[in-house]
């Protein structure tokens, strides 16, 4: 290697300074090896010549391109992680309504109490992975909002009445607040506003009285994070709550409990599901997803595709689009039937 470098050095020594500076400046790495440029540097340094700038090579450009691509992909990853959820939007809009209603304690209190189920049941979400667009429609009011990097931006908003068109929802006549105010001014409905959904204590009582037929000491306890209350589509309210068998060491063994206003209606099934979750809701319906197991599957790893069933309020009860899978606890036991005790 040293002989090769010395040979190149001796060759470069016989070139003129101008020629060496041109070769150095063009920096043609395809035509000349690194040894050539080391020799040029050495010769020019010995001649007390200041090295000129070198052109950027294809290799350097490629490295820069890789850096830019990595930064771009990292930005997209951050945007994906920080894409706000529907729950975050609901909380943001609810707080906005409460803040804009400080002049009316009743409106503020009503917004804080029923704002979440009201907004949830009247909002649709378009998820574009890196950001989401939320559209909330309450009576004649429409609000479109973009969610990006955990922030929300109002895009367009409308208020359409018999004598008005295109009024701004963010002005003094905030449409959502006005809707709540108008509800207060109307005659009281047949049920009290505070009774649109069952109290936590009422939910706990129903679940304590729901027991396994073969093991009556085992009952259910509510999963607070699962509670969903939405409009029934006819001016009143329906609620779904996930119940978890108790006592339990693993959280498996679930039932979904349904209410209309404060009246308990029914379960999703007379048999426990191994694992179920309320994944969607809207005016008059809930969607529940069930894990589905093949014989021999471990509890933590169901191998079959989840089953989604829609439960729709029909005025008297809930109609379902299918039956929950009666899993046999990974092949180790029979489905567990439940009953209600008074």
Domain ranges of the chain: 2-81, 86-186, 196-340
Omega before 247 within 30 of 0, i.e. cis: yes
Sheet arrangement for strand 318-320: 276-282, 285-292, 304-313, 318-320
The Cβ-side half-sphere exposure at 234, using a 13 Å CA radius, reads 11
Angle at 312 between CA 321 and CA 198, to 5 degrees: 130
pLDDT on residue 270: 92
pLDDT on residue 139: 57
pLDDT on residue 115: 59
Tokens representing residue 183 in the block: 């509800």
Burial (0-12, 13-18, 19+ Cβ within 10 Å), 110 = buried
- Which of left, alpha, beta for 284 (phi over 0: left; psi -120 to 50: alpha)? left
Any residues with CB less than 8 A from the CB of 264 and at least 6 apart, and which?
A: 198, 202, 206, 257, 258
Burial (0-12, 13-18, 19+ Cβ within 10 Å), 324 = buried
Distance, CA of 64 to CA of 205 (rounded, Å): 65
What is the pTM assigned to this prediction?
Answer: 0.47
Q: Is residue 34 a contact partner of residue 57, using CB atoms and an 8 Å limit?
A: no
Q: pLDDT digit of tens for each residue in the chain (342 aa)?
A: 677 778 888 888 889 999 998 998 888 888 888 889 889 999 999 989 888 887 766 555 666 778 888 899 999 999 999 999 988 988 887 777 666 655 555 445 555 555 567 777 778 889 999 999 988 876 566 788 999 998 988 887 554 443 343 333 344 334 444 544 444 444 444 444 456 889 999 999 999 999 999 899 999 999 988 999 999 988 889 999 999 999 987 778 899 999 999 999 999 999 999 899 999 999 999 999 999 988 888 888 899 999 999 999 999 999 999 999 887 654 445 788 999 998
Burial letters for 27-55: b for 16+ Cβ neighbours within 10 Å, e otherwise?
bebeebeebbbebbeebbeeeeeeeeeee
């Amino acid at each position: 290697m040293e002989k090769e470098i010395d040979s190149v050095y001796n060759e470069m020594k016989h070139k003129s300074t101008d020629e060496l500076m041109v070769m150095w400046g063009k920096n043609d790495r395809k035509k000349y090896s690194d040894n050539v440029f080391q020799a040029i540097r050495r010769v020019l340094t010995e001649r007390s010549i200041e090295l000129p700038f070198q052109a950027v090579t294809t290799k350097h450009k490629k490295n820069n391109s890789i850096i830019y691509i990595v930064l771009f992909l990292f930005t997209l990853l951050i945007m994906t992680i920080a894409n706000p959820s529907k729950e975050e939007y609901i909380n943001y809009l609810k707080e906005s309504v409460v803040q804009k209603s400080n002049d009316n304690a009743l409106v503020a209190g009503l917004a804080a109490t029923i704002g979440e189920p009201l907004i949830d049941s009247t909002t649709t979400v378009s998820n574009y992975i890196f950001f989401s667009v939320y559209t909330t429609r309450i009576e004649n009011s429409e609000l479109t909002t973009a969610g990006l990097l955990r922030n929300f931006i109002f895009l367009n908003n409308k208020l359409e009445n018999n004598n008005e068109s295109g009024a701004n929802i963010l002005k003094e006549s905030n449409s959502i607040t006005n809707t709540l105010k108008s509800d207060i001014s109307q005659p009281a409905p047949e049920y009290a506003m505070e009774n649109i959904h069952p109290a936590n204590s009422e939910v706990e009582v129903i679940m304590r009285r729901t027991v396994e037929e073969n093991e009556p000491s085992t009952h259910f306890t509510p999963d607070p994070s699962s509670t969903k209350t939405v409009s029934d589509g006819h001016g009143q309210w329906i609620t779904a709550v996930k119940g978890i068998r108790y006592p339990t060491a693993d959280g498996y063994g679930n039932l979904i409990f349904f209410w209309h206003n404060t009246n308990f209606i029914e379960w999703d099934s007379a048999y426990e599901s191994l694992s179920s979750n309320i994944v969607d809701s809207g005016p008059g319906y809930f969607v529940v997803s069930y894990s589905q197991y093949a014989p021999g599957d471990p509890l933590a790893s169901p191998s079959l595709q989840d089953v989604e069933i829609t439960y729709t309020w029909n005025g008297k009860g809930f109609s379902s689009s299918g039956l929950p899978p009666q899993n046999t606890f990974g092949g180790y036991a029979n489905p567990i039937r439940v009953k209600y005790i008074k």
